[in-house]
Amino acid sequence: MPDFSLLAVVVTALYGVALFCIYRILLSYRTAQGAIGWVIGLIGMPWIAVPLFLVFGRNRFSGYVRARRMNDQTLDPLLSQYEHQAEGIPYPDFPNGVDELRVLSKLGRQPFTGSNHCTLLKNGEATLEALFDAMESATDYILLEFYIVRSDRVGARILNILRRKLAQGVRVYFLYDDIGSLLLPGHYLKALRTAGAKVTSFGNGNVRRRRLQINFRNHRKILVCDGRVGFVGGINLGDEYLAREPGEEVWRDTHCRVEGPAALGLQLAWLEDWNWAADANPELNWQPRRAETGDQQVLILPSSPADRWETCTLFFLNCINNARDRLWIASPYFVPDVQIINALQLAAMRGVDVRILIPEKADHLLIHLAAYSYLVTANECGIRICQYQPGFLHQKVVLVDDRYAAVGTANLDNRSMRLNFEIAALTTAPDFVADVEAMLEADLARSRQLERADYEDRSLLFRLACRSARLMAPLL
């Protein structure tokens, strides 16, 4: 005979946990749609929804928030010092856009700085060679933070460079994401540690504080050398960006090299993550130095689920709402929420040239399908969604009019908006903006514009799959 008393206790306990989860949702939800979905699931199917919520339901990286507050005693003086030093470095005026830039500076908790030089690195080969050269030239320290690190040809070359620099007395700090670099073998990390590098994963140093928060990822790709030069963009450390054979398709991606005071902005973001992961505050250079050439105005804009605001969402909304003539966005994933798609529609309706560049060949089927569900809405108001044809497009680039451009790590999806740690470099420099424009024009020339028929004329099963994928997108 079944023990009904024990079963009643288990069911009561399960619903008690479900009610506690609902209590947490009501106190902290960011979107009504997500909250309603979780509440319905927790009430109707608690045996499934409760474990899913414990793993995927949190929208604030609470341990990081607490660590940030504790570490403010260390980080705030560095930020104040950085801001004070940046004030003494003049940067060019930005007519009719002061409020727009002030908002972005507040979002990123960092200042715009002048006397920088940004170089657009338009593909994997150019980026990786620039990364190798910067590490070879380092004399004091090398700071790395990447979502994905592989032990392939690229990984082997980096390992050799870092070993050589460590032997020369250069300090190396190596931070990687647990999920993104899940396949990185232990012998690779052991070799780095044996050579003298400080190595940690984003969650490894704080497992107790991070438990049940595996849905959060550190998606940043940062390199800083000596506090003088930094790199940020969409490129991870792997062979997928380099052709092995003639004619082989490689991932299409973009990075940015930053020389000047803004490199300290990348360093500050790296330090906050390192402080969380390793509980350490290494001695670094915080004296800004002007770039040898160029006088570009640059903002480093980090975003994360530990922020007071939804920084990444507000960044995109600010760009969309302030665009006057043109808004071009390149992203491998296009699954915007309601407020983003509404803002894009309004921009197109007021005559802005809105183009979204996505890949035709996808690395994530559900997100690829979800993008098709926006075609009808996009076409009706004049938004142009274009699929890049030659290979997988992985770049994350934003171009607003002829006024500013951003290169970073954030995609147009829920994960980047609310769950990932992301970062971007934004500049108003006319020559950099022109380089981004020319690059995107070349990419668009190799793309096909999607029409509503690409969705409406497909089978009912395909359309249902697209709509279902769109519903699931916030969980992906």
Q: Mean of the pLDDT values across residues 332-337? A: 91
Q: What is the pTM of this model?
A: 0.86
Give the separation between CA 185 and CA 163, rounded to whole angstroms. 17
**DSSP, res 419:** I
Local confidence band at 75 (pLDDT 50, 70, 90 cut-offs): low
Q: Dump pLDDT digits (tens) for 8-36.
A: 777 788 778 888 878 777 776 666 656 77
Q: Dump pLDDT digits (tens) for 451-463.
A: 988 888 888 998 8
Q: Mean of the pLDDT values across residues 376-400? A: 93
Q: Dump pLDDT digits (tens) for 286-310.
A: 888 888 888 899 999 999 988 888 9
- Given the DSSP bridges, would you call strands 171-176 and 198-201 parallel, antiparallel or unpaired? parallel
Query: pLDDT: is 204 or 293 the higher one?
Result: 293
Give the separation between CA 410 and CA 400, rounded to whole angstroms. 16
CB proximity list for 291: less than 8 A, separation 6 or greater: 115, 116, 117, 259, 260
Query: pLDDT: is 51 or 2 the higher one?
Result: 51
Q: Which of 74-83, 88-97, 372-381 has the highest mean pLDDT?
A: 372-381
Q: Give the model's pLDDT for residue 281.
A: 87
Q: Mean of the pLDDT values across residues 407-418? A: 92
Cβ neighbours around 11 below 10 Å, total: 12
Query: pLDDT: is 146 or 61 the higher one?
Result: 146
Q: Dump pLDDT digits (tens) for 87-124.
A: 544 444 555 555 788 888 888 888 888 889 999 999 99
Q: Give the model's pLDDT for residue 23.
A: 77
The answer, yes or no, to whether residue 50 has pLDDT greater than 80, is no
Phi, psi of 149 (to 5 degrees): -125, 130
Average pLDDT, the chain: 85
Catalytic center residues: 219, 221, 226, 394, 396, 401
Q: Give the model's pLDDT for residue 209.
A: 45
Give the separation between CA 328 and CA 351, rounded to whole angstroms. 13
Local confidence band at 132 (pLDDT 50, 70, 90 cut-offs): very high
Of 114-118, 154-158, 327-331, minimum mean pLDDT range: 114-118
Phi, psi of 239 (to 5 degrees): -75, -10
Give the separation between CA 394 and CA 331, rounded to whole angstroms. 6
Q: Radius of gyration of the chain from Cα atoms?
A: 23
Find residue 35's DSSP bridge partners: none
Q: Dump pLDDT digits (tens) for 221-255.
A: 999 999 999 999 999 999 999 977 666 778 999 99
Amino acid at 13: A
Q: Give the model's pLDDT for residue 208.
A: 43
The answer, yes or no, to whether residue 377 has pLDDT greater than 90, is no
Of 97-106, 260-269, 416-425, minimum mean pLDDT range: 97-106
